[in-house]
Amino acid sequence: MISEKMGKALNEQLKWELYSGYLYLSMATYFKDRGLDGFARWMEVQALEELSHAMKFYSYLNERGFKVDLQPIDGPPTTWDSPVAVFEHVLEHEQHVTKRIHDLVDLAIEERDHGTNNFLQWFVGEQVEEEASAAEVLNKVKLVQDGGGLYLLDRELGQRLFNVPPDVTILNTGAK
Ligand code: FEO
C-alpha cells in the first residue's frame, strides 16, 4: 500500500503527464497549420510519449491498490509567436515537470516508500533526456533562424570520423 498523500500526489502527476500530451498535441497543430509537417511529427511523437508516461502512473497506482481519480485537464495554449517560442516553452515545461518529479521523489524518501522511489527513478532519468532533447532542438531552431548557415556547417562538422592511422597504436592491450 502507498499512503493517501503519496497516492494523491502521483494521481496529480498522472494529470500533468496527460496535460503534457495535450500541450504537445496543441504545438503539433500549430506547426501543421503552418505546413511544417516535420515539426508537427516531432510533437505528435512527443505527445504519444507523454501518454505512455501517464499510463505508467495509471498502472503503478492500480498496482499499489490506489484508486485512480482522473482530474479535469486544463486547455493548453494554442498559439505561439514563433517556432523558437514553441521550443522555449517545451524546455520550460520539461524543467517544470522535472521539478515535480523531484518533489515526488522527496516525498517518497520522506515516507520511506522505497517502491515508489524506485518507480520514480525511471522518470528522473527520462527527464534528463527530455530536457536535453528540448534544449537541442531549441538550439537548432535558433541557428536556423539566424540564417541557417551555421546549422548546415554544424551538420557537416558532425560527420567527422576518426580514422586510426595504420602505424599508430591507441590502446595497449598488452597482447604480444
Ligand atoms: Fe512526461 Fe515530458 O515529461
DSSP symbols for the chain: ---HHHHHHHHHHHHHHHHHHHHHHHHHHHHHHTT-HHHHHHHHHHHHHHHHHHHHHHHHHHHTTPPP-PPP-PPPP---SSHHHHHHHHHHHHHHHHHHHHHHHHHHHHTT-HHHHHHHHHHHHHHHHHHHHHHHHHHHHHHHHTTSHHHHHHHHHTT--PPPPTT---------
Please report the atom of ligand 1 found closest to the CA of residue 94.
2
Distance of CA 93 to the CA centre of its chain: 9
Residue-wise pLDDT tens digits, 14-36: 999 999 999 999 999 999 999 99
Q: What is the reported pLDDT for 155? A: 80
Instruction: Please report whether residue 49 resides in a domain.
Output: yes
Please report the atom of ligand 1 found closest to the CA of residue 97.
3
Cell numbers found for residue 67: 484508486
Instruction: Please report whether residue 111 resides in a domain.
Output: yes
Instruction: Please report whether residue 176 resides in a domain.
Output: no
Q: Is the beta carbon of 20 within 6 A of some atom in ligand 1?
A: yes
Q: Is the beta carbon of 53 within 6 A of some atom in ligand 1?
A: yes
Instruction: Please report whether residue 64 resides in a domain.
Output: yes
State the chain's mean pLDDT as an integer.
Answer: 93
Please report the atom of ligand 1 found closest to the CA of residue 46.
2
Please report the atom of ligand 1 found closest to the CA of residue 93.
2
Residue-wise pLDDT tens digits, 116-139: 999 999 999 999 999 999 999 999
Checking if the pLDDT of 146 tops 90, the result is: no
The protein residue with its alpha carbon nearest to ligand 1, atom 1, reads: 50
The answer to whether the beta carbons of residues 105 and 153 sit under 8 Å apart is no
Q: How far is the CA of 17 from the centre of ligand 1 (A)?
A: 6
Residue-wise pLDDT tens digits, 79-90: 999 999 999 999
Instruction: Please report whether residue 171 resides in a domain.
Output: no
Q: How many domains does the chain have?
A: 1
Q: How far is the CA of 95 from the centre of ligand 1 (A)?
A: 9
Q: Is the beta carbon of 13 within 6 A of some atom in ligand 1?
A: no
Instruction: Please report whether residue 78 resides in a domain.
Output: yes
What CATH number is attached to the domain comprising 82?
A: 1.20.1260.10
Q: How far is the CA of 77 from the centre of ligand 1 (A)?
A: 17
Positive or negative, the CA dihedral 27, 28, 29, 32 is: positive
Provide the pLDDT confidence category of residue 175 given band limits of 50, 70 and 90.
low
Instruction: Please report whether residue 100 resides in a domain.
Output: yes
Q: What is the reported pLDDT for 172? A: 65
- 130 in a labelled binding site: no
For residue 131, give every residue at least 6 positions away whose Cβ sits within 8 Å of its Cβ, in sequence order, or none: 91, 94, 95, 98
Q: What is the pTM of this model?
A: 0.87
What torsion do the CA atoms of 34, 36, 37, 42 make, to the nearest 10 degrees?
-120
Q: Is the beta carbon of 113 within 6 A of some atom in ligand 1?
A: no
Domain coverage including residue 67: 4-157
Instruction: Please report whether residue 174 resides in a domain.
Output: no
